[in-house]
Amino acid sequence: MTHFAYPNVKFSAFIGCGRFTAKKNAPGNDYVLVEKLNTGNIAEIMDSAATLSPDSLSSPLNIYLKKDKPIEVHAGDSQNLAYLLTLINCSRKIKCNNKNIWCTGSIEQSMRLKQVDMSGFEIKLKAFLSPKNNDKLFIVPAANIQAYKHLCHEKDVQIILLHEIDNLINKSIDQKTIIAVHAAELQTLVDWLFLKKDTNSKLKYKLLYWGLFCFILIMILLSDKDDKTSKNDLINNEVKIICFYNFPDSYKNKIYSSLKKIKTIDKITSTNKKKDCYSFTSSVSLSDINQELQQQFKISSPNSYDSKLEDKEQLNIYFDAGFD
């Protein structure tokens, strides 16, 4: 959980940090909801947030505050930067893995970072440099840190200008480091500290939706095609019946033998004792089979079809026939 901490000074003494965090609900009993920031620059903060990350103002997340010393009252414009970065954190994820990031600086009109009182800044800086403090990152106005370069070097703490910093993604700053930000570099600071919000996310969701819709539509069409094909196959391969009425047995046997030789006929069986009728399955219609029989046996008798006979196609061939 990331905190943006602002160091506080009272009567020339360091009284600990207030630590802002962006959460939907309070992460613990020692956190209080920040309903009103005790500063005179709230309008400048909100205007800057609206410019730097518009979605932050409509985020469902809230800003909560945890104090190192709960009894202390925190006030002043130096907490502006920490609050602004927490607001942006409501809509953009932070890149680095540091859990407590110190910040100080006042927010002015036109989205500019203003330096804080120098005497108070020195107390805050010494608190950060103290061995008792385990936090590693302090973001400050560049105008404040210039006079304390020698002090930071003595403590082996590096001062880095914002434009000189490498990418922070999935990294932690393990050595105490001070980031110096110039007045007009708030946008640069935000882009360095936070992951870019995917401006094409809505478009991606739309493309995903339409892709899914098209996939479902194609599957339905293919299913319908397969269903029609299946029905056609069922019609072509359904059981068919052929009957030979008033034929001599020798003719019936000859026709039966010939039927078995037709490659498109399968599973031919007699349906009665007289062997007048045979059932079979075939991938072609009875009219095609009849044509083949006519070619083989010169059958010229009238024939009829009854497609409603027990849902089976039937061909009746009568005695008027001549055979070679």
Q: How many other CB atoms are found less than 10 A from the CB of residue 269?
A: 9
Q: How far is Cα 232 from Cα 284, in angstroms, rounded to an integer?
A: 11
Q: State the pLDDT at residue 73.
A: 86
Lowest mean pLDDT among 3-17, 98-112, 239-253, 289-303: 289-303
pLDDT tier for residue 202 given thresholds of 50, 70 and 90: low
- Topology of the domain covering 235-303+312-323: Alpha-Beta Plaits (3.30.70)
8 A C-beta contact, residue 84 and residue 48: yes
Q: Which residue has the higher pLDDT, 96 or 19?
A: 19
Lowest mean pLDDT among 201-205, 287-291, 303-307, 319-323: 319-323
Q: Which residue has the higher pLDDT, 296 or 96?
A: 96
8 A C-beta contact, residue 77 and residue 109: no
Over residues 34-41, the mean pLDDT reads 88
Q: State the pLDDT at residue 282.
A: 75
Tens-place pLDDT, residues 181-190: 999 999 999 9
Beta strand 239-244 with 312-317: parallel, antiparallel or unpaired?
A: parallel
Q: Which residue has the higher pLDDT, 97 or 301?
A: 97
Q: State the pLDDT at residue 167.
A: 64
Over residues 157-173, the mean pLDDT reads 77
Is the pLDDT score of 152 beyond 90?
yes
Lowest mean pLDDT among 137-151, 152-166, 281-295: 281-295
Q: State the pLDDT at residue 313.
A: 61
Beta strand 265-270 with 106-108: parallel, antiparallel or unpaired?
A: unpaired
- One-letter amino acid identity for 10? K
pLDDT tier for residue 236 given thresholds of 50, 70 and 90: low
pLDDT tier for residue 102 given thresholds of 50, 70 and 90: very high
Q: State the pLDDT at residue 234.
A: 44
pLDDT tier for residue 322 given thresholds of 50, 70 and 90: very low
Q: State the pLDDT at residue 14.
A: 94
| Contacts with 111 (C-beta within 8 Å, 6 or more apart), sequence order | 47, 48, 51, 52, 186, 187
Over residues 264-291, the mean pLDDT reads 73
Tell me the CA end-to-end span of the chain in Å, nearest whole number: 98
DSSP code of residue 297: H
Over residues 137-144, the mean pLDDT reads 95
Is the pLDDT score of 309 beyond 50?
no
Q: State the pLDDT at residue 278.
A: 74
pLDDT tier for residue 203 given thresholds of 50, 70 and 90: low
